[in-house]
Amino acid sequence: MPGGSRRLGGNTRFVGCFLNLRSGAPGLHFYTLNKAHSTVQVVKNLGLA
């Protein structure tokens, strides 16, 4: 199920980013490889956009 694995990957990225920011990381850097949709969703879910 491609959609399910994409959602799982997005959730995993979100949790990782959230924990890094909560632990004091000064920022985040994403390599999107011209596929920014997932990254945009993570940033929106974090409330940064």
Q: Count H helices and E strands in the chain, helices first.
A: 2, 0
pTM for the model: 0.67
DSSP state of 45: H
Q: What CA–CA distance (Å, rounded) separates 10 from 30? A: 13
Residue-wise over 2-36: b if at least 16 C-beta within 10 A, else e? eeeeeeeebeebbeebeeeeeeeeeeeeeeeeeee
The tens place of each residue's pLDDT in the chain, 49 residues long, gives: 455 555 655 678 888 999 999 999 999 998 888 888 888 888 898 898 8
